[in-house]
Structure 1
Amino acid sequence: MEPSQKVQPGGSERPQDESGLVLRLDRLRPEKRIMTAKPQAAKAAPAAIPNLPQHEPVEPEKKPKAPLPRETKKTVVYRSKRLHGLSQRVRNGISGTVMSLLAIVLLPTVAAGLYFAFVATPQYVSEFRFSVRPSDATQFQASVALESALIISNSYIVAEYSASRETVDALEKTVGLREIYSNEGIDYLSRLDPDASVEQLVSYWKNRITTHFDMATGISTIAVSAFTPEDALKITQELQLLCEKLVNDLSEKARKTQMAFAQSELDLAEQRLKDARDRDVALRAGQQSVDATKEAEGKLQLAARLRSNLSDLQSEFVTLSSYLDASSPKIAYLKKQIAAAEQQVANLQAQVGGGDDGSGTMSANDATRISQFEASKTDIDIATKLYQSSLQNYETARMKANSNQLYLATFIHPNIAQLAAYPRIFVDTFVFFLCTLGAWIVLTLIYYSVRDHA
């Protein structure tokens, strides 16, 4: 600020610059007025005495007492450069700030209001509400957090899918999305370019769809806007079918993934059982025996009976030989029976495969055959039990997977709109005004900040 001081007697004159900040000191203390008046009078008296010759004494003339000076008023003016410049701009015309306000805020707001009121094509909205639920909610009673996480995850999946390119491609094939939104009856700013690329179509579709998920209730809302009620209803119904198909596909994929391990274990157990049975059949065919164990037991029993008969014959022969002649027919007959019994035992031992060591035990060949047969039987038993366990696990997994299936529970279906939802003339215009006003304030602050620091 530049201070400048002007003393105006009587305060009759006004400052030339009315735009400055004026501080007036209109009254002074009386003591100071008297002190300033006496020196002025003393100085004025000698100036009033005429120059006389020195040889003529002259009595000094009595001059009238000089009047006291009038009370003066002092005005101190402080000028502000910024206020002075503002006053100059106001006197010269409209300031740049006002011009920028008109250009950035007022005129665009008026144009936006006229567009919303007379140019913009009405938009109609159709929506549906749903919740992604498990088919059997009783299994989640012990874990509410697990059920909530499952519902939230799948709901967000549906919301993201509804705005994806895959959805746009499916709707383009079924309802002709590009043709609907590029109709000539739609205003230029809202109409889709008929030659738009797929990426531009997806970006345009994201502006025509609204998704919302309520965390408290688990309810999802999908709304679609179009420029006729019929188009909005048709698109929303087809989008609902796509979302239901998505949930069903996800559920089926989860079910197959959950059953894949059980199915693989069942296949392994079944193959193991088949291999064990094939080895057993090959072993039986190689041994030419249905049951080597039972055959060996039969041979042992037959051999025991033959040995018992042979022992009886030999005992009778010894007894008869003690008192009969060797040429007796009875002795000859016993010799023939003993020889026949010994031949039968020898033949049986040959069939068994190695003879007898005299203690009534089997040969090593029969033991090997029975050992192989028992090992094959054990493998079959283990493979059978493993197969039964795998089959039971598979059934359990199948029942659990079926109970874990998800479905899209739609409780509010799409309906045809009666009134246009957009544009909201006053609300949209006011929002546009607030946006432009905020932009103007930011730009103005940036301009003055740069100018003050330049």
Structure 2
Amino acid sequence: MIVLLPLAVIGWYTYVRAVDQFASHVGFTVRQEDQGQTQALLGGLAQLAGPTAAGGALDGDILNEFIRSQGLVARVDERLDLWSHYAAFHAIDPVFALRPGGTIEDLHAYWGRIVTIDYDQATGLIGLELRAFDADFAQSVARAVLDESQSLVNDLNAAARDDLVMAAEADVELGLARLKSAREALVNFRTRTQIVDPETDLEARMGVQTSLQQQLAQALVEYDLLVQSAGEQAPSVVQAERKIDVIRDRLADERQAFASDQSYVGVEGYPALIAEYESLTVDREYAEETYRAALAQLDAAKASAARQSRYLAAYALPTLAEAPIYPKRQQIMLVSLLFLCLGWALVVLIYYSIRDRG
């Protein structure tokens, strides 16, 4: 009664009422293109694409969750009308068929019964087994899952490309703003000091004073020679004295002008002016190099975005079953016999335990 009668009912249902199910197998993985020099040029920008760009392993995790998701079930149902197929045999086989008139949550729960996922996280390989009451329909479901998975990979690819280009464009805008600021600071410095290059201006002024000092020294030597040869009252000596006075006045004017410029540019004078100019020049050169690098990164990002960096590679296309393999009747019978025997043994032990105590 405890073992044979339930076992007979289970055997009758599995062999008489249960409808045969066919299985279609498909296998795929996500491959990522080796971009070589492009990725090296992009540098850290590739990391801004987020986890979806980290390679096949994370893409496999996403696909694994996507295949189990309610969203995929809704898409496949819209494409193939899963309700019509899996609920058609509910009157004959209420155990293995889908109960009609349910919700998307019911269909999603039933999806877990007809789809078996074999996912190897180390290699990123995904193997699927999809069951249906018809071999062609099982193959159609497998193709639909493969197509939807490819669409997901394309969406991930597009999102990664958009993030990469957006990050590169943001760097270009930041570099351009920094370059404009550096150039404006240099222009303001030149407007304020009225000096294009303090070093060149200082060299020019010191060169003029040095030249005047050399001319003064030469004029003094010539004056001494004329005094010794022609006397102090000679016209040539008077002319030499005038020349010396003119050079001295000119040298004094240059020194006075240089001193007034020193007070204009600040207490510290030209050293502080040159230090400020060099700092502004370094900022401008750094901004120019950063901007050029950002432009190169943007060009590389656009070149990378024009290519398909990741794609779905199917190593096993959806198969067409020639014979049903579900439900596994012998396996069901053996498992049922095991649990029924265990239940019978438990009932016997409880019975004898109660009888011995009485």
* TM-score (normalised: structure 2): 0.69
Shift of 1:413: 0.6
Question: Contact 1:276–1:376 (CA<8 Å) still a contact in 2?
Answer: yes
After superposition, the Cα gap between the structure-2 partners of 1:217 and 1:268, relative to the gap in structure 1 and judged at 3 Å, is: closer
SS at match of 1:207: helix
Counterpart-to-counterpart distance in 1, 2:356 and 2:62: 53
Question: Contact 1:354–1:364 (CA<8 Å) still a contact in 2?
Answer: no
Q: 1:121 aligns with which of 15, 19, 28?
A: 19
Shift of 1:364: 5.4
After superposition, the Cα gap between the structure-2 partners of 1:208 and 1:450, relative to the gap in structure 1 and judged at 3 Å, is: farther
Percentage of identical aligned residues: 26
Question: Contact 1:354–1:365 (CA<8 Å) still a contact in 2?
Answer: no
Could you list the per-position Cα deviations for residues 209-268 of structure 1 after superposition, in whole angstroms to 9, with x for gaps in the alignment?
112246998754211112223322222112123344556667888899999999999987
Counterpart-to-counterpart distance in 2, 1:119 and 1:355: 108
Find the structure with the greater CA-based Rg.
1
Counterpart-to-counterpart distance in 1, 2:175 and 2:200: 29
Query: Map of 1:201-280 to 2, 5 A cutoff?
Result: 201-213=107-119, 219-246=125-152, 275-280=181-186
Query: Map of 1:280-429 to 2, 5 A cutoff?
Result: 280-321=186-227, 323-324=230-231, 326=233, 329-354=235-260, 365-380=269-284, 408-429=312-333
The one-letter code sitting in structure 2 at the alignment partner of 1:109 is L
After superposition, the Cα gap between the structure-2 partners of 1:381 and 1:316, relative to the gap in structure 1 and judged at 3 Å, is: same
After superposition, the Cα gap between the structure-2 partners of 1:311 and 1:427, relative to the gap in structure 1 and judged at 3 Å, is: closer
After superposition, the Cα gap between the structure-2 partners of 1:303 and 1:364, relative to the gap in structure 1 and judged at 3 Å, is: farther
After superposition, the Cα gap between the structure-2 partners of 1:129 and 1:105, relative to the gap in structure 1 and judged at 3 Å, is: same
After superposition, the Cα gap between the structure-2 partners of 1:427 and 1:373, relative to the gap in structure 1 and judged at 3 Å, is: closer
Cα RMSD, aligned residues only: 4.7
Counterpart-to-counterpart distance in 2, 1:355 and 1:318: 35
Q: 1:130 aligns with which of 28, 51, 59?
A: 28
Tell me, which stretches of 5 or more residues in structure 1 are unaligned? 1-100, 139-149, 357-362, 399-404
Higher relative contact order (CA 8 A, sep 6+): 2
Could you list the per-position Cα deviations for residues 340-371 of structure 1 after superposition, in whole angstroms to 9, with x for gaps in the alignment?
33343344334434489xxxxxx953333222
Question: Contact 1:352–1:366 (CA<8 Å) still a contact in 2?
Answer: no
Alignment partner, residue 83 of structure 1: none
Question: Contact 2:179–2:287 (CA<8 Å) still a contact in 1?
Answer: yes
Counterpart-to-counterpart distance in 1, 2:215 and 2:149: 90
Question: Contact 1:132–1:409 (CA<8 Å) still a contact in 2?
Answer: yes
Determine if the alignment matches structure 1 residue 183 to structure 2 residue 81.
no
Could you list the per-position Cα deviations for residues 102-161 of structure 1 after superposition, in whole angstroms to 9, with x for gaps in the alignment?
xx433333333333334333222111123456655x9xxxxxxxxxxx877765654444
Equivalent residues, number: 328
Could you list the per-position Cα deviations for residues 263-299 of structure 1 after superposition, in whole angstroms to 9, with x for gaps in the alignment?
9999877766664444333323322232211121122
The one-letter code sitting in structure 1 at the alignment partner of 2:87 is S
After superposition, the Cα gap between the structure-2 partners of 1:171 and 1:353, relative to the gap in structure 1 and judged at 3 Å, is: farther
Shift of 1:208: 0.8
SS at match of 1:129: strand
Alignment partner, residue 39 of structure 2: none
SS at match of 2:3: helix
* TM-score (normalised: structure 1): 0.56
Could you list the per-position Cα deviations for residues 180-226 of structure 1 after superposition, in whole angstroms to 9, with x for gaps in the alignment?
43336773513323432333222211011112246998754211112
Alignment partner, residue 352 of structure 2: 448
Determine if the alignment matches structure 1 residue 109 to structure 2 residue 12.
no
Alignment partner, residue 82 of structure 1: none
After superposition, the Cα gap between the structure-2 partners of 1:347 and 1:174, relative to the gap in structure 1 and judged at 3 Å, is: farther
The one-letter code sitting in structure 1 at the alignment partner of 2:27 is R
Determine if the alignment matches structure 1 residue 167 to structure 2 residue 65.
no
Counterpart-to-counterpart distance in 2, 1:265 and 1:444: 78
The one-letter code sitting in structure 2 at the alignment partner of 1:290 is V
Question: Contact 1:161–1:167 (CA<8 Å) still a contact in 2?
Answer: yes
Counterpart-to-counterpart distance in 2, 1:355 and 1:288: 11
After superposition, the Cα gap between the structure-2 partners of 1:151 and 1:289, relative to the gap in structure 1 and judged at 3 Å, is: closer
Counterpart-to-counterpart distance in 1, 2:217 and 2:66: 94
Tell me, which stretches of 5 or more residues in structure 2 are unaligned? 37-54, 303-308
Shift of 1:375: 2.9
Question: Contact 2:57–2:122 (CA<8 Å) still a contact in 1?
Answer: no
Question: Contact 1:208–1:226 (CA<8 Å) still a contact in 2?
Answer: yes
The one-letter code sitting in structure 1 at the alignment partner of 2:317 is H
